[in-house]
A and B are shown apart, each in its own frame.
Chain A
Amino acid sequence: MRLVDAVFRQGHLSEQALVEAVMTGERPAHLDRCDICAERSVELGRWLDDVRNLGLDAAERAFPAEKLVAQQAQIMRKLEQLDEPPRVIAFPRQMPGAARESGGRRVAPAWLGVAAAAGLVIGVIGGHFTARVSATEHPAQTAVAPTVPTTPATQPVRPAVPATAMPATVTASLIDLDLDNPTPHDLAMLNDYTPTLVGRSNR
């Protein structure tokens, strides 16, 4: 027995000594001699057992067997996930500018040459075709042009003279015209041959 217990507790065990005795199972000799302390220790032991049962019961209710099984399965699943290499979902790696570059690469380079050659051929053929078409259209234009009336409706319409039908003397006189001081005769002649001249300038 400790001196403190002997002096202050009339020789009885302190609460702490009782707790230690009950918890560790090391029974002090005093308990064999003192009925009061023996009874206290029995009562404390009962109380502790009761509390223990209550505590374990509460835990058992909170964690029944099926919940423990589920818990174990969950733990093993988590461990499996840890051990597996992480699955990385492919994320767009290129920026929008880079995407445009990769879009250009989709056409094979050989096709670019083919397209350029095809464009050249089409251009040459188209050029030849339009040249021929325009060549066939021009004679019609020269034939049609003189039919356009150039004189007012009140004046008598003079027949149009085709340029091909113009005599060489007229052409020479037209060339010799003094346009700075023209005479009425000159102007009348010029008027007569204007459609023909227009047709020539168009050609």
Chain B
Amino acid sequence: MAGDTPPVVSTREADARVAVDVKALQAVGHVDAARERFAELVARHQRRASRIAFHYLRDAADADEAVQDAFVKAYLHIGTFREELPFEVWFTRILINGCLDRLKQRRRREKWIAPPVTDAMGVERDPAEYLPSHAPSPEDHALASERRQQLSVALAKLPERQRVVFMLSHFEGRSSREVSAMMGLNESTVRVHLFRAIRRLRTLLAAGASRSLSGRKNRAAR
């Protein structure tokens, strides 16, 4: 019977329900139960949050810390969460603000500690990239790795807003409206950022591909 089937609950509704429960449990002082309930939200959004932070910060350790901090902040300030807004949007905003703060801190640190490592093309590189890899290096792996590297370098060259808009829209599949809510921007501004990001990325990746192709030809000729 149709009346006996449980109603289908969307992720958004489920998130909102959990968030409201956590808020209520915190209010009556049942912190253990509140934490257990919050763990559901962590499990549901952790992977996506890690992806966003990783693409934003371009450093796995930094991204890991940013995600942890974002969840802790969300738990502490869950009292300010309003059901009208999806939890995902509210949380992503916390995460992005945290990532932005980390980037600012990193820039300040880099100013004083050491100049950024750049490659022959003048592109800022992570020093860890120059360490020898322990992974096996058959040609397929090498090619895939090269392409990932090219994408990472190209993404790094994008202005921050373009990068985040591209990431949220394309990697996370968010609509322009959702991205605008997450970033606090106009929907039309988000669309413009997205278009510019794609155009710039295509140019950068095409240039990178032609460079690597000529490099391979030269190596083969030798």
Contacts and interface: CB of A to CB of B under 8 A. Distances in A.
B51 interface: yes
The 5 A-B pairs of least Cβ separation, nearest first, read A83-B31, A62-B60, A59-B51, A63-B50, A54-B151
A187 interface: no
Interface residues of A, number: 30
B198 A56 contact: no
Interface of A: 15-16, 19-20, 23-24, 47-48, 51-52, 54-59, 62-63, 67-68, 71-72, 74-76, 78-80, 82-83
A15 B199 contact: yes
Contacts of B151: 51, 54-55, 58
Given A20-B191, A62-B63, A71 B198 contact: no
B64 A71 contact: yes
Interface in B163-205: 167, 169-171, 175-176, 191, 194-195, 198-199, 201-202, 205
A110 to B, nearest CB: 49
A57 B150 CA distance: 13
Interface of B: 31-32, 34-35, 38-39, 42-43, 46-47, 50-51, 54-55, 60, 63-64, 67-68, 71-72, 75-76, 144, 147-148, 151-152, 155, 167, 169-171, 175-176, 191, 194-195, 198-199, 201-202, 205
Contacts of B198: 19, 48
A72 B55 contact: no
Given A23-B169, A58-B54, A79 B202 contact: no
Contact of A76 (B39, B47, B155, B170): B39
Contacts of A23: 169-170, 194
Contacts of B144: 57
6 contacts: A51-B151, A55-B55, A58-B55, A58-B152, A59-B50, A75-B67
A72 B42 contact: yes
Give the most central of A19, A56, A62: most B CB within 10 Å: A62
Nearest to B71: A75
A74 B68 contact: yes
B46 A68 contact: yes
A67 B68 CA distance: 12
Given A51-B151, A51-B205, A54-B148, A63 B39 contact: no
A78 B195 CA distance: 40
Give the most central of B47, B171, B191, B198: most A CB within 10 Å: B198
Given A24-B175, A48-B170, A71-B68, 9 more contacts: A19-B198, A23-B194, A58-B55, A58-B148, A75-B68, A75-B71, A76-B35, A78-B72, A82-B72
A59 B172 CA distance: 12
Give the most central of A24, A55, A68, A78: most B CB within 10 Å: A55
Given A51-B151, A62-B63, A76-B39, A19 B51 contact: no
